[in-house]
A and B are shown apart, each in its own frame.
Chain A
Amino acid sequence: MPAVSMTVNGKAVTGDVEARTLLVQFLREDLRLTGTHVGCDTSQCGACVVHIEGIAVKSCTTLALQCEGAKITTIEGLAEPDGPLHPMQEAFREHHGLQCGFCTPGMIMAALDIVRRCGNDLDEHTIREQLEGNICRCTGYHNIVKAIAAGAKAMAKGGARQAAE
């Protein structure tokens, strides 16, 4: 089996994978990073969203071998183990943007990509349109939309503080 090397959540990892092994399988089964979920087999639900080089990608439709040498961030890598939560994680908790939690990692990773693409000042319409690739069956989206808007704002504040420091 071919070997693959990548950096996942800041850590260099290698593994032997079949050519057909998907990134999500490599993350979940080889690295035991089970925060990234699989909710469908047609790239619709977005439970598997991770970041490759800072850009949101559905890891259920990416081959592990395609990620040779890439920097991957999963939900487990958003906050330091004993550090504070990422503002977007905090916003999901504060605004009750999750119920069963299964779509949540993908939602949070997708939300960060919306901020990257559309900025920190997000209106409801933009968030709803940009969430096209993620499905939640529990929340009716109401609180997810609120959480993303608040998380995006909090990220701007955090960024401003960092710049000031």
Chain B
Amino acid sequence: MSATGIGAAVRRKEDLRFITGKGQYTDDVIRPGETRAVFVRSPHAHAKIKRIDASAAKSLPGVVAVLTGAELANDKIGNLICGWMIHSKDGTPMKMAPHPALASGKVSHEGDAVVLVIAETLAQARDAAEKVNVDYEALPAVIDTAKAKSGPQIHEVAPNNTIYEWSLGDAKAVDAAFATAKHVTKLDIVNNRLVPNAIEPRSALAEYDAGTDQLTLWNTTQNPHVSRLVIAAFVGMAPEHKLRVIAPDVGGAFGSKIFIYPEEVVCLWAARKLRRPVKWTADRSESFISDAHGRDHVTHAELALDANGKILAMRVKTIANLGAYMSTFSSSVPTYLYATLLSGQYDIPHIYCEVDAVYTNTVPVDAYRGAGRPEATFVVERLVEVAARQMNIDPADIRKQNFIKSFPHQTPVIMAYDAGDYNASLKKALELADVKGFNKRKREAARHGKLRGLGYSTYIEACGIAPSQAVGALGCGVGLWESAEVRVNPTGTVEVLTGTHAHGQGHETTFAQLVSERLGIPLENVSIVHGDTDKVQFGMGTYGSRSGAVGMSAVVKALDKIESKAKKVAAHMLEAAEGDIVFKDGKFTVAGTDKSAAWSDVALNAYIAHKFAGQELEPGLKETSFYDPTNFTFPAGCHICEVEVDRDTGRTEIVNWTAVDDFGTVVNPMIVEGQVHGGIAQGIGQALLEGAVYDKDGQLVTGSLMDYCMPHAHDVPSFKVGLTETKAPSNPLGIKGCGEAGAIASPAAVINAITDAIGTEELAMPATAQAVWSALRHGQPRQAA
């Protein structure tokens, strides 16, 4: 390992601009003649729009335009779409309701965009927005996930508010296995609705150049090319070659900035209509009612075991709330990103899962850090933990007994796990967490009136999203390969263009580490270019912990081609056969001689082309690769949470956290640990603090950071983080991905720990002090077999 190569904890190249205030986020970009946009949003969850009166607003100083859904439709701007087709059990396609970027005729959730007000300044736009008079006729709202099917119908296309009724697995085989079971564990689970809350609010700045008929969009997006594709091909805004999407620095995303939202579409349309740049940036209150939310499942789950604790089968029935409209990838989250992970780390012969997706009059729900996999992990890890308690088996032992131990392993729910060592991560976590000393600590805590509990979560996830043929067969509308272009300059410095996008993950450092090691050049001689459709030809963006496994693999493939061509150039320079050229540590050598050429000399010779005929070898040194993975990757590990619960107040304190993860090859351990920390904190947020609450009329009660409890520094502990390693066989670097693991593993670990402490399983997330206090008093006490 070199000092800056793969495996080195290199300090981040991108940090200088962030710690000095020189980052360039979308709202920091300013264009000449820029106008400011404010959306008038529905205050109702469900209502007919009877009349819009903008006359008072239009007459205010500085107002440039007031635009409505009628004008949008008139200009033939198409609807937003969901890009993953799911079919119901009966073979019918999902019921995708029209989603216009500005509401047309009716609104379907609080926050639905109705009118766009554009003015010279933000203050003027805000003043004018307040003067827009929209006359609504309120309709009864559907809010409750579990009761959505029996509520008033929201969209014409979806009777019973049902989007699909989907299933996976063999129901008959599962029934047969349950019939032979000696023990069945049953749980009712609510996976609470979350608001992603990246600290940078979403923003869009659109500009139109009438001279070239070119539109440019600066946007808080994780995937500028996908955004451009959807806005061009489906919304019909402009052809792809006339639309440039730039994702500059993006201040956190966690999935919520994958999607194509109404605001960027409307800003593009308005910028072209008005021939002026149009900028919109969300207020936080606006983010709460317009950013896609996460989770929101209601589940009944059952686990069948034999007398010794061997798992025989699992049966799961979930209702997933997708909100008022189908967001870009919403359909895939509770299906192929969820049910396919229900086997966990366990050898479970039979699994059957049914998922009903429903519309409600709430903000659309889509992928949020982990996306489906945290929900699956919560179901599996709660079932296993509760089964162990009910059967009087040590929770670590029941896991060991059921772990998959040989690979490859085909689960009954599509996934073929290719590599892992689940015992290794459990064993290491047991040591790091000093589980042996737990009973002593528990007795000590009891002396202080505290209840101490220990909770495990041995999670698995499918990352490296994903083999294009595989996801295509499951209904995905796009391929999920990744591209890379390596441009070597005549002086030997290198630019790498990647279709992935970093919004906190540190690609400018990790991707450069790979190139530096491979070419033997200093880290500072490598630049990583991303987030601009005019620079990077195409790419699928960053989500699903895919950038290392898929994006860096594309860089490896492009570097292979670079090396191959550079060897040809070196062979001409050194007057040797190409096959005799050896490239090592930034030097080309003729094998068995002392003849050599430095990397920078070869780069220069590739461009000046004096040593070879252009007919024989093309000048230049630039190569492209499109890499499609052969499988998902399967990061897995063991998290152990130790809590103390105050018996009198119900307050939970997390006193120890141990995470041991197998991410395959780790490029930069410092960055990987940071990803784990952040993921755990988000999972702790879900388990203890966060939850989007709607009242019966569809008002988001937790609509600001005053009402929605985000984890603060004093809510979370420091984390003990360890690694084990089995390489991912499906990509050349052996990377599995680390971005979501913490958020996937942690909610189950927290709830398993608290329920261990308080002696009842009747505890829903978020386990606030009040919820725990109430469970302590009213929960059904646990009865071991």
CA distance A94 to B11 in the complex (A): 6
A3 adjacent to chain B (CB < 8 Å): no
Min C-beta distance of A27 to chain B, whole Å: 10
Contact of A102 among B19, B23, B122, B718 (CB under 8 A): B23
Interface bracket on A:
35 or more
Residue ID in chain A nearest B671 by CB atoms: A96
A11 adjacent to chain B (CB < 8 Å): no
Most chain B CB within a 10 A radius of its CB, from A28, A40, A124, A129: A40
Interface residues of B in 665-724 (CB under 8 A from A): 670-671, 673-674, 677-682, 704-706, 710-714, 716, 718-719
Binary per-residue interface labels of chain A (18-61) against chain B in the complex, 1 for a CB within 8 Å, 0 otherwise = 10110001001000111111111110110100000000000000
CA distance A93 to B28 in the complex (A): 22
Do A108 and B19 touch across chains, with their CB atoms under 8 A apart?
yes
Interface residues of B in 1-51 (CB under 8 A from A): 11-12, 14-25, 27-28, 30
Contact of A142 among B199, B252, B505, B718 (CB under 8 A): B718
CA distance A126 to B712 in the complex (A): 13
Do B677 and A89 touch across chains, with their CB atoms under 8 A apart?
no
Given A75-B21, A94-B11, A100-B200, are A44 and B252 also a contact pair (CB < 8 Å)?
A: no
How many of B's residues come within 8 Å of A, CB to CB?
Answer: 59
B461 adjacent to chain A (CB < 8 Å): no
Do B712 and A135 touch across chains, with their CB atoms under 8 A apart?
yes
Interface residues of A in 124-149 (CB under 8 A from B): 124, 127-129, 131-132, 134-145
**Chain B contact residues: helix, strand, loop or mixed:** loop
Given A42-B705, A140-B679, A142-B677, are A102 and B671 also a contact pair (CB < 8 Å)?
A: no
Contact of A99 among B504, B714, B718 (CB under 8 A): B504
Given A40-B284, A42-B705, A129-B714, are A139 and B678 also a contact pair (CB < 8 Å)?
A: yes
A85 adjacent to chain B (CB < 8 Å): yes
Min C-beta distance of B371 to chain A, whole Å: 16
CA distance A102 to B716 in the complex (A): 20
Min C-beta distance of B13 to chain A, whole Å: 10
Min C-beta distance of B329 to chain A, whole Å: 21
Contact of B251 among A21, A33, A101, A127 (CB under 8 A): A101
Do A144 and B250 touch across chains, with their CB atoms under 8 A apart?
no
Do A141 and B22 touch across chains, with their CB atoms under 8 A apart?
no
Contact of A39 among B18, B199, B706 (CB under 8 A): B199
CA distance A143 to B676 in the complex (A): 11
Residue ID in chain B nearest A78 by CB atoms: B20
Residue ID in chain B nearest A132 by CB atoms: B712
Min C-beta distance of B563 to chain A, whole Å: 32
A98 adjacent to chain B (CB < 8 Å): yes
Chain A residues positioned under 8 Å from B711 (CB to CB): 140-141
CA distance A96 to B710 in the complex (A): 21
Q: 22 A-B residue contacts at CB 8 Å?
A: A34-B24, A37-B200, A37-B251, A41-B285, A42-B705, A75-B19, A78-B20, A85-B20, A93-B19, A94-B11, A99-B674, A99-B678, A100-B198, A101-B19, A131-B712, A135-B712, A136-B713, A138-B252, A139-B677, A140-B678, A140-B711, A142-B716
| A residues at B contact (CB < 8 Å) | 18, 20-21, 25, 28, 32-42, 44-45, 47, 74-76, 78-79, 85, 89, 92-94, 96, 98-105, 108, 124, 127-129, 131-132, 134-145
| 20 extra interface residue pairs, beta carbon distance < 8 Å, beyond A41-B284, A143-B674 | A35-B20, A41-B285, A45-B705, A75-B20, A78-B20, A96-B11, A96-B12, A96-B671, A99-B504, A100-B249, A102-B25, A102-B199, A135-B710, A137-B198, A137-B678, A138-B199, A138-B252, A141-B681, A141-B711, A142-B719
